[in-house]
Every structure is written in C-alpha cells, then in structure tokens.
Amino acid sequence: MGLLGRRTVGVIPGAATAEATRAYSRARGLDPGHYSDFRGRIKLSAIGLGTFPGAADDATDRAIADIVHKGLASGLNVVDTAAHYRYGRSLAAIAEGLRRALADGVDRKALWLMSKGGFVTFPGAMPADPKAYIEAEICAKGLGRREDCAGAHVLSPGHIRAQIEQSRVALGVETLDAFLVDQPEVQIPVAGKAALIDRLAAVFVALEEAVRDGAIAHYGVSSFQAFRVATDDAAFLSLASLMALARKAAKAVTGSERGHHFALIEMPFNAVMPEGFSRFNQITGEGAEASTLQAALALNLYTVASHGLFKGHLARQPVDILVQAMPGLANDARRALQFNRSTPGLGTTLVGLSTLAHLEDLLAVARMPLLSHSAYMALYHRTEN
C-alpha cells in the first residue's frame, strides 16, 4: 500500500489544473502579468501567501485563516507553508482559511498548496531537550538515523514521508501540489556535501514514490543559501546536479528517468538579496554559465522567491533606487513587491503575513502592470553607477 493508502474520508480531493487555474486568473480582474506559467500550463499568482511569521497563539491562527480566506478569494492562488511552521499550527490555520474559500466557491483545482519538510516539527513549543525529543520521536521510531540529523534538521526518506503526511492531513487535502525539501544545505557543515547528496538521492526516491501514490503532484528544494552563493562556497548546490538526482530517482520508481517530478525551487530574492538574478553561479543543461533564475528557466524549473519583504524590513525601510524608480506607488512594501514580480524568470514571490490589513498591499500590486524589461534592467544599472 502506498503513502496515501486508502482515500481518507472527508479530505478535499484534487490538485491544481491548467483549466481551473486559467479560469481563476480570468475571473479575478487583476493585471494579466500577475499570473505566471508553471510549465506553460498552470497559472500561479506572482504573489503568494507565506505562513511563517507570527507567534504560536490563537490570535495568529485566526489572522492567518482570515488572510488565506481573503487572499484565495481575491486572486492569490499560491499558499506556502512547512510542517514545522509555528510548531505545526500554520497548517491548521491554512486549513480553516481554505475551507472558507471553498465554501465561497473557490475551486480547489484553481489553487496551489505547497509545504516543506526537513526541520523537525516540535508540537506546540520547543521541548526542554530537543535532542532527546528527536531521538525518541524520529530515531527510535525508524524515521531517521542519528547521522541524518543536523541539529533540528533531519534529512531521511522516513522523516520526509511523515512530514508529507502531516502536511496533507492537517491541511485536509488529498494531494499537495508541491512538497519541497527545506534548506538541505544545513546538513553540509555536519556531514559534508557528499553525504548530503547521498541523502538527497534517497529522499528524491521517496518524493517520486509520493507522487506515484497521489500524496503530492510535484517536488523541489527550498534553500536559504545554496542557490545564491558562489560556486566555491561550501553551501552551494547545482541545479543540474539536483536534476540528475531526480532523473535517477524517477528511474528507480517508474523505470524511466524522463518523467521525473522535480519541478521547482525556492530561495530568498528581493531588492537587497538579488543574487538569484545577478550572480552567475549555475550551469544550464547546455553547459552555459547562468544565474540561478536563468538556469532554472533553462531546466524547466519554476522559481519561488521567499523573503519577498525581507521579514518586513523592506516594508519599513526605503530602498532609494526603488523610490526613485517607482515614486507613484503608495509605500515601500508595494515598491519591493513590484520589483520582485517584474524580475524576469521569477514565478511567484511569497510574502509572510500575520496581519490581515497588510493583505491590501499585495492586492494593490497585483492590479498593476509589471515594470517593462528596460525599466527593470535600469535598476541594476543605477546600482552600478
């Protein structure tokens, strides 16, 4: 029996489809540039809802549920979370917002729901002895070996399977549109890069199995450092190498390496962290040097930006170049989001919100046309000058 086993009674079936997401994008009255193409078929909003910020309390749960409800009803059809966010509480808050949106007529197949795994979900709060908790709840239960642990990060097939199931069940959905391995580079200082690659190879097999079983539709890697640093940095990961792991994993599961489901990456990107666009640290499938965004495009990988407002700093502190280039926008948050959504090759920018009032900034930008390519590139020329 696969990861899902029998269909769970009461869960929401389905996953994002081309037909439903296109209908959703046409019905919301937002600028056409607000939606990006995932693999040329599925329409995903260029601004998505992140669910990391906020205290682990009831008030934040209610706020996230309200934000997800209104955001999904208003044209933001991407929601990002992780099994460990807010000690697992973000999942339940999203589920409440999702139920309300569906009750209002939003189609589940018009939405993109993605979660991440790797960091341990400590239930409710940080335990007094995290190491003992991991030993008892993960190692002793056969979900991971001690050598798979790097602090509170456990990279093993068993742990990833468990976090897929935790995410899927808590959200109340039969299938996650995507599940990402979260910050695998944190394993490198503890175990070395060769060991990390071996662990990722095993985890990718588990992810291909999860696709086969209907628990997820796609998978990827989310990173804080690995895709932004120089190639000689210890934390660097090559997209082409990850693609090769995915092909091997698909062959192990299906017998063919051509049908792998490694489809997206996530990394920080904003006006003060532009390395994904400006640093040429990757190799494309044709062997040419490229930025991470360019290489992802060449490899047919969708790119998601985390830290769209740099943990709120870009909403409070002006970036002079953006102020000069976009004086007509109402505030710094909107200028920062307009910069990101106009970046060539960048699919969706995530913004973590825990206050409903801030959602209007996201929706206001979604109604605007993108910066022209020449206007966007001029921002980099101004920086150089």
Per-residue pLDDT at 9 exceeds 90: no
pLDDT confidence of residue 2: 47
Residue 6 lies in a domain: no
Of 162, 146, 142, nearest to 195 by C-alpha is 146
Report CA torsion sign: 201, 204, 209, 210.
positive
CATH, residue 317? 3.20.20.100
Beta strands in 162-286 (DSSP E): 178-182, 219-222, 262-268, 280-283
Position 28 confidence tier, pLDDT thresholds 50, 70, 90: very high
Range of the domain at 286: 18-384
pLDDT confidence of residue 212: 98
Distance separating alpha carbons of residues 347 and 340, to the nearest angstrom: 9
Residue 279 lies in a domain: yes
Position 291 confidence tier, pLDDT thresholds 50, 70, 90: very high
Q: Are 101 and 112 in contact (CB under 8 A)?
A: no
pLDDT confidence of residue 144: 98
pLDDT confidence of residue 151: 97
pLDDT confidence of residue 4: 42
pLDDT confidence of residue 7: 43
pLDDT > 70: what percent of the chain?
Answer: 96
Residue 2 lies in a domain: no
Position 383 confidence tier, pLDDT thresholds 50, 70, 90: low
pLDDT tens by residue, 310-324 = 989 999 999 999 999
**Structure-block tokens of residue 308:** 């769209």
Structurally, the chain folds into a number of domains equal to 1
Distance separating alpha carbons of residues 66 and 72, to the nearest angstrom: 10
pLDDT tens by residue, 169-205 = 999 999 999 999 999 999 999 999 999 999 999 999 9
Of 352, 365, 343, nearest to 307 by C-alpha is 352
Position 10 confidence tier, pLDDT thresholds 50, 70, 90: confident
Residue 4 lies in a domain: no
- Pairing mode of beta strands 289-291, 35-38: unpaired
Least confidently predicted of 88-102, 249-263, 283-297: 283-297
Mean pLDDT of the chain: 95
Residue 10 lies in a domain: no
Residue 178 lies in a domain: yes
Instruction: For residues 153-180, give the mean pLDDT.
Output: 98
Per-residue pLDDT at 135 exceeds 70: yes
pLDDT confidence of residue 381: 79
Instruction: For residues 353-360, give the mean pLDDT.
Output: 92
Instruction: For residues 250-276, give the mean pLDDT.
Output: 97
Residue 8 lies in a domain: no
Per-residue pLDDT at 336 exceeds 80: yes
Position 141 confidence tier, pLDDT thresholds 50, 70, 90: very high
Residue 209 lies in a domain: yes
Per-residue pLDDT at 241 exceeds 70: yes
pLDDT tens by residue, 65-119 = 999 999 999 999 999 999 999 999 999 999 999 999 999 999 999 999 999 999 9
The answer, as to whether pTM is greater than 0.85, is: yes
